Amino acid sequence: MSFLNAPASPVLPLVYERSAGYWETVGRRFLRDKVALGAALVVFLLMILALLGPWLAPMDPYQSAMLKRLKPIGFEGHPLGTDELGRDMLSRLMVGARLSLFMGITPVICAFFIGSLIGITAGYMGGWVNSVMMRTIDVFYAFPSVLLAIALSGALGAGITNSLISLTIVFIPPLARVAESVTTQIRGRDFVEAARASGASAFTIVRVHVLGNVLGPIFVYATSLIAVSMILASGLSFLGLGVKPPEPEWGLMLNTLRTAIYTQPWIAALPGAMIFMTSIAFNLLADGLRSAMEIKQ
């Protein structure tokens, strides 16, 4: 049989394998992290509780009954007991999730936008602009966060609004520092130099090339600050500088129950346990996001 008469081999279609993108890879790595998934589930449930707490609470969290004050866990009609005024602890913990998460997340969100704007501007502009902006930030960054929050809240006065302002000011410096550091690294990359050489404006370069590379690390760091924000907000309420009675807020509940620590220690520990669980969940979530985003390309 000659070569010319040999049967032709079938033509196979070309198959191109699509490589996974960056965010798809991040999602896969995050889904493989069981601890981070558990933390994300806890955070999700807390968010649902914060949204639906007033409707899910079995009793009125503001209704007091002096004859039922400081009843133990498992008391009839009160699964988690009652507080110093006879109010249902389960209802107050459920309703208090909204205000506690609000006080913990809102300052970080506000500081995220303000700190990112300051840090990205300082990092991209460089020179004297960077020096002036970052040295001003360093003045606030030099103070411990706890003392700065207490000092600002004491100067502004007690209340939810003043506490939010104080905590926002506390978290702007660290977020601005992270944003400036990452932007300074991105500014010297080849693709940024190429965009600058092609005649692109500074606004276009920042919007197209810089933001996509710096917002991820800043967001991960901001997520880790939510736990700190909740602890500081609870501390301000505990000291009487934050939420005012009779609002159900976990830090304020710790303050009002501190006198019951010798008679009903488990009741007094419940708000602290909620703060601890929420802080751990946000910390583990931030660690999982950080690990998932550390991909060498």
Find the largest Cα–Cα distance for the chain: 107
**Rounded distance between C-alpha atoms, residue 232 and residue 237, angstroms:** 9
Residue 17 has pLDDT above 50, yes or no: no
Q: pLDDT per residue over 248-291, tens digit each?
A: 999 999 988 988 888 889 998 999 999 999 999 999 999 988 88
Range with the poorest average pLDDT among 26-35, 146-155, 187-196, 264-273: 187-196
pLDDT in tens, 84-121: 899 999 999 999 999 999 999 999 999 999 999 999 99
**Are the beta carbons of 153 and 162 closer than 8 angstroms?**
yes
> What percent of the chain has pLDDT above 70?
92
Q: How is domain 47-59+75-293 classified at the CATH fold level?
A: MetI-like fold (1.10.3720)
pTM of the model as a whole: 0.85
Mean per-residue pLDDT for 213-242? 89
Contacts of residue 201, defined as CB under 8 A and 6 or more positions apart, other chains included, come to: none
Taking the CA of residue 14 as centre, how many other CA atoms within 13 Å lie in the half-sphere pointing to its CB?
2
Evaluate the CA torsion angle 136, 138, 142, 145 in order and state its sign.
positive
Parse the chain into domains and list their residue ranges: 47-59+75-293
Q: What are phi and psi of 82, to 5 degrees?
A: -130, 160
Q: Which residues contact 158 (CB under 8 A, 6 or more apart)?
A: 240, 241, 242, 244
Measure the CA–CA gap between 123 and 117, rounded to whole angstroms: 10
For residue 281, which amino acid is it?
A
Instruction: Tell me the pLDDT band of 20, cut-offs 50, 70 and 90.
Output: low
Residue 82 β-bridge partners:
88
Q: How far apart are CA 96 and CA 289, in angstroms?
A: 27
Q: Give the separation between CA 70 and CA 259, rounded to whole angstroms.
A: 11
pLDDT of 59 = 92
E strands along the chain, which residues? none
Look up tokens 């007690």; give the residue: 158
